[in-house]
Amino acid sequence: MESIVFDVGETLTRDDRYWGSWADWLGVPRHTLSALVGAVVAQGRDNADAVRLVRPGIDIDAERAAKEAAGAGEQLDETDLYEDVRPGLAALRDAGYGVHIAGNQTARAGTLLRGLELPADSISTSQEWGVAKPDPAFFARALQTAGTAPAQTLYVGDHPANDIAPARAAGLRTCLIRRGPWGHLWTGDAGIPADYRVDSILDLPDILARP
């Protein structure tokens, strides 16, 4: 293994603030929107469909711009990171791996993540690339950014359908991180074709060092 590419939401960052902001903007209880996000993803749908259920016909891009203009735009800081992120990424870099971050996020999220100065060689988002998971082109772009062959690249994520299955189909090695709603929901599913399963990024250096 030469490079490790990490998903963002519920892999590196908690999504509480993001969905809570949308619930407040839409004027619905946070629990309501959170439950709807869980329901649509469990049905194999886009998580943005939760917003569309609350407000049918909504133009999400236009609404996101309105949120930004009103000072209620996307925010992300150190408190949104899981506790193992900074030391875990640093440990992997110290072990000689290329560390990259690439997830289905907005361009603004990419800017905010880069502002945190994480120990990563690159930070990219789907909006910046113009292609999102599970599209194979997303993983092709991730490989291009990492500069390593698929078999020498590990993709780490919490979602079997958006992370594990399409990364594996693109030839990457895969790791399911068991946290966030999706990581917990599918923890015991033997049908998930992940090469590794971890509870913490700090588990990875030892696991990858094993023959």
Which pLDDT does position 8 carry in this prediction?
97
Which pLDDT does position 191 carry in this prediction?
66
> Which two structure tokens, joined as six digits, stand for 33?
């929107």
d(CA 39, CA 33): 10
> Which two structure tokens, joined as six digits, stand for 185?
């929901």
Question: pTM for this structure?
Answer: 0.91
DSSP state of 163: I
Lowest mean pLDDT: which of 30-34, 128-132, 166-170, 181-185? 181-185
DSSP H helices in 48-196 = 49-54, 60-69, 85-94, 107-115, 126-129, 136-146, 165-169, 180-185
Per-residue model confidence as pLDDT tens digits over 104-144: 999 999 999 999 999 999 999 999 999 999 999 999 999 99
* 190 pLDDT tier (thresholds 50, 70, 90): low
Lowest mean pLDDT: which of 14-18, 45-49, 90-94? 45-49
* 154 pLDDT tier (thresholds 50, 70, 90): very high
Which pLDDT does position 187 carry in this prediction?
64
